A and B are shown apart, each in its own frame.
Chain A
């Protein structure tokens, strides 16, 4: 089944409340996905290099030692801090150089996200436990997207948990199932996209990454996804300064959007939105099949657009 949620502030005054408003959204979708949960948070900006969220399967992984090695490799480490079993690094280098270094020097480390703003945190277990594990409730930021997973196409593992990063500051959460993911995965592998799991949603994320690497805008990449991805999907996509919602042309998988002057929120079901401030006066609607909804800041106050 799976549950997906997203909360995007148009009014910056709400930013300190992101975690407090977003945690109940995630927890309301526990019935739809009790196997694992995860979320991407945006807001803590770093523009002098690359911000990475890393994780290791080794519980006692020596992060201070890794920080020292990063310092040697890239001259300095601007900031690093642990978030439960994940660790965020801000490094004065490029994504490509950082990932290349990690692949050769610290292959035991998983990269959960890379960008200037994004942090992806996820775990196996009930959404409430995952949120508490990372202290989500106290977190601040400009927007967040989240996922609660009921595993269908692949195993219950941390790697199978959403969100999947699709490139710099981009990530995707998915409710549904894709029927052509195996063939598409092989095609994308030949195009140089690497996959860590046999999860169908990771293929959707990889597809978007591939399209955008070809020069597609987010909207164009999603238009192409509607042509090339076969199956059921409601996607919510987080970007550096916006987010998007799209459903397949049959739209079997549910979605509801609420918009006020202060925020846009989406969820698989209305009950995840019921606690939001001003919800009774919000515009609430179901996104139409095969229609791409994008909200972006573009250095201006956020405006909704439906493409």
Chain B
């Protein structure tokens, strides 16, 4: 276990985490005094665990590959943005655009997530214990967004193919996002995600599935004047 005090700034930590030799030697990292600083543990490419003791600023754990990163506090804008693999867990709340454009891996938010959670997600799985804000999963293309609480307005606006599961209320659905039947394969997919997230008190049967109606896929000349 190596401990980094971020009072001196974030660059030294990120440079150490980008050093494959150091990461092979030390597989557990602890980060203290984050104080809401930006870009903590970005671009990690090694199978290490990183515990951040406190609130993180913007883009924490961005571009993560293989690492398991836990934020013991809230996360700022764009946590786990463009994650490729590994996992990121936020013990508190997450700000806007959590998990944006993520290609893979698992993002777990134990509190609430703000607006645009999972915007343009491309394969990442996101599990939120609390509520999510407006315009979440906007233009989402692949992966799953699981919400144990409520969802804000325009959920899944211009959705491509991601799977959305919400247990609570949905303020409104965005363009082309519709409620869908929960088939056995969806129940098992959801059960597996809830288990991976550690939310074993949640019953998959209590969730509603939403997905793309696929009516925005093709350009229709009749609509040309609307563009």
Contact = CB atoms under 8 A, between A and B. Distances in A.
Given A250-B135, A286-B114, 4 more contacts: A251-B115, A270-B36, A284-B92, A285-B93
Most buried by B among A273, A280, A289: A289
A269 interface: yes
Interface in A243-273: 250-251, 254, 256, 269-273
14 contacts: A251-B115, A254-B77, A254-B95, A254-B96, A270-B55, A271-B36, A271-B57, A273-B36, A284-B55, A284-B93, A286-B93, A286-B95, A288-B133, A289-B152
A275 B54 CA distance: 13
A286 B54 CA distance: 17
User: Chain B at the A interface: mostly helix, strand, loop or mixed?
Assistant: loop
Interface string B44-75: 00000000001101100000000000000010
Contacts of B114: 286
B35 A274 contact: yes
Contacts of B92: 284
Contact of A284 (B74, B133, B152): B74
Contacts of B134: 251, 289
A284 B75 CA distance: 11
A271 B96 contact: no
A254 B36 CA distance: 14
Nearest to A270: B36
Contacts of A251: 96, 115, 134
Contacts of A270: 36, 55, 57, 74, 76
Contacts of A288: 133, 152
Contacts of A256: 95
A273 B57 CA distance: 11
B55 A274 contact: yes
A253 B58 CA distance: 13
Contacts of B74: 270, 284
Interface residues on B, range: 20 to 34
4 smallest CB-CB distances across A and B, nearest first, come from A271-B36, A270-B36, A274-B35, A286-B114
Interface string B108-134: 000010110000000000000000011
B73 to A, nearest CB: 8
Contacts of A272: 36
A284 B73 CA distance: 10
B133 A274 contact: no
B37 interface: yes
A289 B95 CA distance: 13
A269 B59 CA distance: 12
A250 B174 CA distance: 14
A35 B163 CA distance: 45
Most buried by B among A270, A280, A288: A270
A280 B152 CA distance: 27
Contacts of B58: 269
Contact of B133 (A271, A280, A289): A289
B76 A269 contact: yes
B105 to A, nearest CB: 24
Contacts of B76: 254, 269-270
A256 B57 CA distance: 11
A196 to B, nearest CB: 33
A251 B77 CA distance: 12
Nearest to A274: B35
Nearest to A288: B133
Given A284-B74, A289-B133, A269 B57 contact: yes
B12 to A, nearest CB: 18
A271 B93 contact: no
B213 to A, nearest CB: 24
Interface in B18-32: none
B198 to A, nearest CB: 23
Contacts of B112: 285
A271 B6 CA distance: 13
Contacts of A286: 93, 95-96, 114, 133
Given A254-B77, A284-B74, A285-B93, A269 B115 contact: no
A293 to B, nearest CB: 15
A286 B37 CA distance: 17
A137 B112 CA distance: 35
Contacts of A269: 36, 57-58, 76
A199 to B, nearest CB: 26
Contacts of B93: 284-286
